[in-house]
Structures are given as structure tokens and as C-alpha cells.
Amino acid sequence: MTARIGVVTFPGTLDDRDTQRAVRVAGAEAVPLWHRDKDLKQVDAVVLPGGFSYGDYLRAGAISRFSPVMESVIEQAKAGMPVLGICNGFQVLTETHLLPGAMLRNNHLHFICRDQKLRVETNSTAWTADYETGQEISIPLKNIDGRYVADERTLDMLEAEGRVAFRYLDVNPNGSLRDIAGITNEAGNVVGLMPHPEHAVEPLVGTGRTDGLGFFTSILKNLVGAR
């Protein structure tokens, strides 16, 4: 039996079906989870996909953190279950304080969609084990509220503990502090990033590269290996 990976759909989630596809392409089973339902259906890991949950009218991710499904996700994440937040999912994770910091509007104030080069800064997380530390990858970035900020003390702590998981290369697309594109929690089971690995898993579509597939194969190996 392969790993069961839950993909949460909030109202306004956009990349849920893409994420389910990425999970399947990697060889795992995708399990749709509904925002109103506390039941995580015995999944082994959860992905919070991109979009504009609840319209993001108050602040990106601010409403979603109070949804019934997130009660269970927070509880399980604290108990060690792997959780990946992509874009809006990353915003939700910072709102829940599973990850530190916050996302502000891009410094140029525009939505930006581009093929973004990143450096994987650590492969010691549940979602990056299949990459080499220092590996450069290109995956799509698309957001308007993507500027990662935190206070200096938090940023220093993240750097010192090796918890900056991804850094923007070539271009910092939104003014994120210290070029941070994604981070991990202390245990390495909760990871959040703004770019979209689920849009880079097939050679034919999107950017035509499969640099994002490693996220999903990493978790699969992590889970199957743990059995």
C-alpha cells in the first residue's frame, strides 16, 4: 500500500486538483480533504495547496486557520505528521504559527507569474529529502502576497537552525527578506514555500521541467521508509 496524502480544499482553493495530480504522478494516493470536515481520513501527510482561501479578503490565510480541518491539521502537525503549505498554504501555516513570519504584498504591488529559480537550502526535511542541499531548481511562482517578512531575531534563528529551506536565486521576485522563498519548522515535518512545485511535475506542461516532483517523491520515500 502506498502513502495516502491529503489535499485540503478550502473555498477559494485553486491548485487542489493540480496538487492531487502531482501526488499521483509521484506514485502516492491523493485524498481530498474538505475544509468543513475535521476528519483527516487517516492520511499520512497533508498538503495545503495554493489559491485564495475564503477570498483572502481579510489577510491571506487569516480565515482558513480557523476552519475545522485546520484544527486537526495543527494537532497532527504538532504530533509530527508531515505538512506542506504551498503559496496560500504557506500563508495559512504562518497564520497558524506552525511556521514563523508572515507574507506581505509584493514590494512592486503586482501579481507576478514567472518561472523562478530557487536553491534548496536543506534536504533535512520530510519534503526535500530527494534533493541535494544546495541544488538549484526552477518552478513556477505566482502570487501577489508573497513577500516573506519576520523580525531580525526570528530570521537569525531560522538561519542558525538551518530552517531556511528555499532561497530565491537570480531575482528576488517580491522583496522577501533574505531572499527567503520557504522555511521549515524545527522538526522538519512542516514546510511552507511560495513557489509551486505541483506545477512542475510533468515535462510537457507548465515550464516543461519536473523540478517540483522531488517534493512529492521525498514525502513518499519518507512515509514508505518509515513503515
What positions carry a catalytic annotation? 87, 196, 198
- Cell numbers that stand for 11 in this block: 473555498
Q: Tell me the sheet residues that pair with 13.
A: 51
In whole angstroms, give the CA distance from residue 103 to residue 115. 20
Least distance to another protein, CB of residue 186, Å: 32
- The separation between the first and the last C-alpha atoms of the chain, rounded to the nearest angstrom, is 10
Write phi, then psi, for 171 (nearest 5 degrees). Answer: -125, 130
Q: Return the residue of 12, 100, 162, 175 that touches another protein, per CB under 8 A.
A: 12
> Is residue 169 involved in binding another protein (CB under 8 A)?
no
Binding residue count for another protein, defined by CB under 8 A:
32
Which residue, 11 or 100, has its beta carbon nearer to another protein?
A: 11
Measure the CA–CA gap between 206 and 154, rounded to whole angstroms.
35
DSSP-derived letter for residue 28 is: P
Query: What is the residue type of 212?
Result: G
Q: Out of 41, 59, 97, 110, which residue is the one contacting another protein (CB under 8 A)?
A: 110
Site membership for another protein, residue 212 (CB under 8 A): no
The residue written with cell numbers 520530510 in the block is 126
- Smallest gap from residue 35 Cβ to another protein (A): 10
Among 6, 101, 206, 214, binds another protein (CB under 8 A): 206
Q: For another protein, give the closer residue by CB, 140 or 188.
A: 140
Our finding on whether 142 is near another protein (CB under 8 A) is yes
Dihedral sign of CA atoms 74, 80, 81, 87 in order: positive
Q: Which candidate, 6, 117, 128, places its Cα nearest to that of 69?
A: 6
Task: Select 100 or 175, whichever has its Cβ closest to another protein.
Answer: 175
Chain contacts with another protein (rule: CB under 8 A): 11-12, 14-15, 17-18, 21-22, 51-52, 54-57, 108, 110-114, 140, 142, 144, 196, 198-199, 201-202, 204-207
